[in-house]
Amino acid sequence: MTAEPHGFITRVIHWVSAALIGYGYLKGLDSVSQLADPAVLRFEVSFALGLCVLFVGRFAWTKYVAGPTRLPNEAPKWEHQLSRAVHLGLYASVFGIVLSGLGIALAYSTPLISGIVVAGLVGLHEFFLIVLPALLCCHVAGALWHRLVRRDGVMESMTGKLGQSRIGERNTSPRDQSIV
């Protein structure tokens, strides 16, 4: 069975989320002390709040409108369980990064709450910054599994026909089969 494609809004939300997460990693701060600059602090808080709003909206959209998965019902139970675990982990990691980052900003800008609180929040923030790429790798590996092995349209449900003739397609032209 072929997976049903995601709608336009779902695809936009997915790829905008991916782009913003990528941007967040590329422009990330080197040190908490950079928050001493009011412009940096304002930008970081605004970015975090925007990402939080996007992911709350994404979660609601997925849960109540678009549906959480395009895995065919016939897919093995372990695929459904692993997909759900990875997706929940992605949401938890993003929220963990956002909330710990906002906590760092608040603690840094509030002299009474500094020191060990900032250190603990930075540790939590760094933990989620490590977990998220690992889960993203699992997410991409799962998509490639469905594209190259299962060939059930799950990857294409989010990417469309992008690369369909190049990725994982076997050439069935008579000319090329005679070589084999």
What tokens appear for 116 in the block?
């060990």
What tokens appear for 141 in the block?
């590996």
The reported pLDDT for the residue numbered 44 is: 97
172 pLDDT higher than 70: no
Query: The tokens 């909206």 sit on which residue?
Result: 57
- Within 8 A by CB and 6+ apart from 69, the residues are 80, 83, 84, 87
CA distances from 150 to 1, 10, 22, 30 (A): 10, 23, 28, 42
The reported pLDDT for the residue numbered 164 is: 53
* Any domain includes 13: no
163 pLDDT higher than 50: no
The reported pLDDT for the residue numbered 1 is: 65
* Any domain includes 70: yes
* pTM greater than the 0.95 cutoff: no
CA distance 128 to 101: 10
Q: Where does the pLDDT of residue 102 fall: very low under 50, low under 70, confident under 90, or very high at 90 and above?
A: very high
* Any domain includes 140: yes
Q: Where does the pLDDT of residue 175 fall: very low under 50, low under 70, confident under 90, or very high at 90 and above?
A: very low
Instruction: Out of 45-59, 60-74, 95-109, 126-140, pick the least confident.
Output: 60-74
Provide the mean pLDDT of the chain. Answer: 88
Average pLDDT over residues 156-163: 80
* Any domain includes 168: no
179 pLDDT higher than 50: no
- Which residue in 93, 71, 99, 95 sits closest to 84, CA to CA? 71
The reported pLDDT for the residue numbered 160 is: 84
* Any domain includes 109: yes
* Any domain includes 59: yes
As a residue count, the chain comes to 180
Average pLDDT over residues 96-112: 92
* Any domain includes 85: yes
Total domains in the chain come to 1
The reported pLDDT for the residue numbered 113 is: 78
* Any domain includes 88: yes
Instruction: State which residues form the domain around 83.
Output: 28-160
* Neighbour-count burial for 106-125, b at 16+ CB within 10 Å, e otherwise: ebbeeeeeeeebbeebbebb
Residue 101 in contact with residue 107, Cβ under 8 Å?
no
